[in-house]
Each structure stands twice: as C-alpha cells, then as structure tokens.
Amino acid sequence: MPRIKVETDPAYEIVVGDDVLAECATVIDGYRKVVIVTQIGVTEHYREALGPDRWIISIGEGEQAKSMSTVEMLGRAFADGGLLRDDLVVAFGGGVVGDTAGFAAAVFHRGIALLQVPTTLVAQVDAAIGGKTAINIPEGKNLMGAFHQPVAVMADTSTLTTLPDREFRSGLGEVVKYSMMSEGKQVHELLTARVDGLRARDATVLTEIIVACAAIKAQIVAADPQERLGLRATLNLGHTFAHALETSGSYSLTHGESVAVGLVFETALAVAMGRVPNDVLDDLLALLTALDLPCSVSGTSSREDLLTIMKRDKKSRGGLAFVLPGDDGLELVEDPPPGVLATAFTAVGVK
C-alpha cells in the first residue's frame, strides 16, 4: 500500500489502499484506551471493521454537528469513560467527524493522540491531512479550531464505494483544486484522462488520485505546519468564497460543491485582474462540467452577505484575502478592486 510521510514534528504516515482498515489495529492496539468517534451512517457499514467491543461515540450529521455543543458532549463522554492524556481518539468518518473529533482531541487534557480514518473523498485527499481541526459558529465556518497533527492517516479507498453519488462528486471539488496548483500537473492529467474510472470508483484510479493529492498536501504541510509562512495558504484556493457560500446558504451546498464554485469565482477574479488568461477559466469550467460539479450558484446569497462573511476569513488582515493563480503560481492577494469583484460575482451567478 502506498505510504506518504508527513515530515512534521513528530512525523506521521498517510496510508492509502483498498484494505487499509485491517491495518488500523496496528495503531490502535498500542494504546491503553481507545474511543472511536463516528456517525450512525458510518457504523451501519463498518460495524464489523470497528470491532464488537470498541468504545464508540456517534455525533450528528452535517455541518451543524461541527459545534461547540458537540465538542462539549465529546469531552464529557471522554471524561466519564476515563480517557487520559496517553489514550487515543479515532476520527472514523468524513470531514465533519475529522474536524470535530480532532478539535475535541486537541483540547481534551490539552491534547491527546488522534488517528484519522477518513471515509469520504474530501477527507482522504484533504481534510484529514495536516492537523487542522475546527468547528463552525454562526458567523462563519471553521472560525474556531486548533492545529493538532494525527499519529497517522489511514485512507481506505473501499469506504468510498458506499458514498452517495453527490457526496462522492463533492470530493472531486477538492481534487480539482489540487489540479490547479503548480504541483498538481499529475492530478490534472489523472482527472482528464481517467474520468470513466473515477465515475466507476475504480480502486486503482482512486488510489492514484488520493496519493497524488495527499503527496502535495504533505509537502506543503511539512514546510508550513501552522500556516505561519504563507505557503500553506495556497491550499485554500477557492475556499474564501466557498466558506462564505456555505455559511450564507446554511450549508445547502456540500463543501466540495462550494469549492467548485469558489474556484470559478477566484479564477474569474484572477482573469479580471490580468493575472491569468481567460483560457484558464475556460479550462476550469470544462473540467468542472465533465465532473458534474457546479460552476455557478444563484438565489441563495447576496453579494453584501458574502462580502461580510469573507472579511472574517482566517486569511484576512482586516479586508478581503484570496488565493489567486498568476504567472508565479498561487499567491495571496488582498482587497481586489470593487469592479473586479463585481465581475467575479457575475461569473458565478450572484447578483
């Protein structure tokens, strides 16, 4: 099985393949006490893989579950169950589980070990890697969180076969993001050449895609583990607009769908600023369409609401901040002119 090393301190591995769940025991068995945080829908498919005698806590579904009340529930359950500093939390599920269980692990006893076992494409290529944990508040997505690197990321591609079609396609939004990065040539080639394999959820194609994306993220995370140098901000391509869209629309769009629209918005910004030619936007639109991902949104949010939320983005230093493509790759660009913003809003159908 492919293994990608994340050179943080301490270092850890991302393991990818179609029989990775069987290897989780090699990590879990090294701890005195283990709690698995998951969701009811996940346990329905993987009760046997989790084991009959495991301590399991289920949290709610959807972005609404990423809340302080959920973290408090987990913390109290951890305490009642006797979880101590040298024990282990396993986040077994998608991005909601990984973010929420990860944040609970980061703050309980001021930090206990975390194993990420992502079961969605979004989580396997992105969310479970790099130690970002967070919850949502009404004012914005992921505004409260902590950096807490896992002891390992175990990505079993067989778990992707049980995903609903919409959830699976959502993960492709993050994959397209990687394909637009300067390091993402291989990802772009795989996306364009292996569309049929992706649609069929072919294990070999999925493994190649996940490994290629994970390798990019591992490299960037190792260079800038806590987003202090600006390098890691490039992983937020499309996300300033995407997070605002999710918040303003009460999460009616999935994260990957919002990222797809965010990529169009921020690429349109770059075109309007003369940073890249219009061909870049045309290619993006063609790729998103081929993958059945949205390129625009209408009727859910106003420009004013989106601008207000985007100013609260974690990259902001008081104004608007976007990761935009250009001749020198991806760069953080602050406060684009109003006319340029208007062009980008029009490109994604926001009036």
CATH numbers and ranges of domains, the chain: 3-165 (3.40.50.1970), 237-351 (1.20.1090.10)
Six-digit token pair at 270?
């770059």
Contact 2, 207 (CB under 8 A): yes
Q: How far apart are CA 71 and CA 100, in angstroms?
A: 7
Tell me whether the omega of the peptide bond preceding residue 325 falls within 30 degrees of 0, making it cis.
no
Q: How far apart are CA 101 and CA 135, in angstroms?
A: 10
Query: Tens-digit pLDDT profile for the chain (351 aa)?
Result: 899 999 999 999 999 999 999 999 889 999 999 999 999 988 888 878 777 789 999 999 999 999 999 999 999 999 999 999 999 999 999 999 999 999 999 999 999 999 999 999 999 999 999 999 999 999 999 999 999 999 999 999 999 999 999 999 999 999 999 999 999 999 999 999 998 899 889 999 999 999 999 999 999 999 999 888 788 889 999 999 999 999 999 999 999 999 999 999 999 999 999 999 999 999 999 999 999 999 999 777 899 999 999 999 888 888 899 999 999 999 999 999 999 999 999 999 998
Q: For 333, list phi and psi in degrees, rounded to 5.
A: -120, 130
Q: How far apart are CA 298 and CA 165, in angstroms?
A: 22
Contact 91, 98 (CB under 8 A): yes
pTM of the model: 0.93
Q: How far apart are CA 122 and CA 127, in angstroms?
A: 6
Residues 6+ apart with CB under 8 A from 219: 183
Q: How far apart are CA 258 and CA 296, in angstroms?
A: 9
Q: What is the 3-class SS of 117-132, one letter each residue? A: EECCHHHHHHHCCCCE
Residues 6+ apart with CB under 8 A from 302: 248, 350, 351
DSSP conformation class of 59: E
